[in-house]
Amino acid sequence: METQCIFCKIINQEIPSAKVYEDDVVYAFLDITQVTPGHTLVIPKKHVADIFDYTPELAGEVMSRLPHIAHALKQTFPEMKGLNIINNNGEAAYQTVFHSHWHLIPRYSSEDGFSMQFENNQDSYTPEEFTQRAKQIGDSI
């Protein structure tokens, strides 16, 4: 645990939270911002800053809890039409708390106040560059 980490303090009950779920691996609680009703954060109890700090074992354990919590959200909010699961890693990706966390954001309509935008940059590279990019990533695995 990091002594100054707000999420570690929440796990240790030094800071109050609206707990949704807890086991030996994860702690889930309502995000104070509530982008949509039920917006939940799922955090590993082990302090890891971002996805690059996960071991494969920890990643598997944390990810395996997400469907369980997602089903609970759907049962609680049957009017949900979908669910965004978002994980930001690093400042450039808008991470503001450097304890890895997964946002589960219930979606009630496409006009519920939450949006994501992806720009199509397909014209900024050639098919050869695209294929080479995929090969470089694959070779690094």
Q: How far apart (Å, rounded) are the C-alpha atoms in residues 41 and 59?
A: 16
Q: Which two tokens stand for residue 84?
A: 């965004």
68 is catalytic: no
Q: How far apart (Å, rounded) are the C-alpha atoms in residues 117 and 30?
A: 24
Q: Identify whether the C-beta of residue 49 lies closer than 8 Å to the C-beta of residue 33.
A: no
Check 39, 71, 99, 101 and give the catalytic one.
Answer: 101
Q: How far apart (Å, rounded) are the C-alpha atoms in residues 118 and 121?
A: 9
Nearest by Cα to 44 from 29, 59, 61, 25: 25
Q: How far apart (Å, rounded) are the C-alpha atoms in residues 113 and 115?
A: 7
Query: Per DSSP, what are the bridge partners of residue 83?
Result: 106
**Residues acting as catalytic residues:** 101
